[in-house]
Structure 1
């Protein structure tokens, strides 16, 4: 059930962090830092505040946030270790129903990508197909590390936007 932005603005910090702590994967510090920027006039203002918190974070914090994300169709998914949000997003993209050949390709690309960049491939997979995700992998693995770091942060912000849309009216 979505809550109105006015209700969000009335939450104490602990409740605010409980509600929004999973918007950025395993990184409740994002919600903690965003809390002080209340009140938010609308959902877009909340998302902008979260984007600003991420932009102001240190490079080490940004890297830790990127690394907090699971591989797409990876071992964590097989073991049932994904967050509820990631499970739903990956399943919606068809990643829970891969053929053995598709799973092998995702595994190969996950390994190559992580070896090249030092962090997992991040893509907002909501409303994407497994073929679009594979095409993204294949295109982005040719990026420079600096460009891909920036792309990972942008994709994380897109994921956050989807998650905020699911939580806030």
Structure 2
């Protein structure tokens, strides 16, 4: 995808306007946008890729406990919040796009078991950028990542969250065309 310019242009916004416009890119974690703005935004940050890089660096360089706050702000995949309709608009679109709203009762039960096993082992929900994936690949990734150690899995979750943020920014740029 060719990078389009984001609207409104991040580099032209004051802190309050930037956080109001981009604070929800990281699930219930506007501090990531605040930190990215405080680190300095230039005209080059007006594209999804460059803004995603700046925001991703804010999260990746944060202390582990702050990273865990962001990870824990994410819903379970195909979990109770999804079934109840309590997801953010972005999460609802992303999970539906991967077919998680079409799971059979058996698949939902498997997701529930894996969600519980994962949270018991790591203390946070399984996070995966699901765009372009399907429920079968997600279930396979669940199984594989359950083998990770906690530090490796925290890093993997942060990488996935940064990927989600980039995809969300790219979608915004496309919507504003």
Under TM normalisation by the shorter chain, which class is it?
A: over 0.9
Would the aligned equivalents of 1:93 and 1:130 in 2 still touch at CA under 8 Å?
yes
1:143 to 140, 148, 153: 148
Output the CA distance in 1 between the equivalents of 2:52 and 2:146: 28
Name the CA distance, whole Å, in 2 between partners of 1:94 and 1:75: 16
**TM-score normalised per structure 2:** 0.89
What are the ranges of 5 or more consecutive residues in structure 1 without an aligned counterpart?
none
2:95 aligns with 90
The equivalent residue for 2:67 is 62
Q: 1:109 to 1:6 in 2, by over 3 A?
A: closer
Structure 2 alignment gaps of length 5 or more: none
Shift of 1:78: 1.3
Number of residue-to-residue matches in the alignment: 168
2:10 and 2:41 in contact (8 A); partners too: no
1:53 aligned onto 2:58: yes
The residue correspondences of 1:1-169 to structure 2 (distance < 5 A) are: 4=6, 7-36=9-38, 37-41=40-44, 42-168=47-173
Following superposition, the deviation at residue 43 of structure 1 comes to: 2.9
Bigger mean CA deviation after superposition, 38-47 or 136-145: 38-47
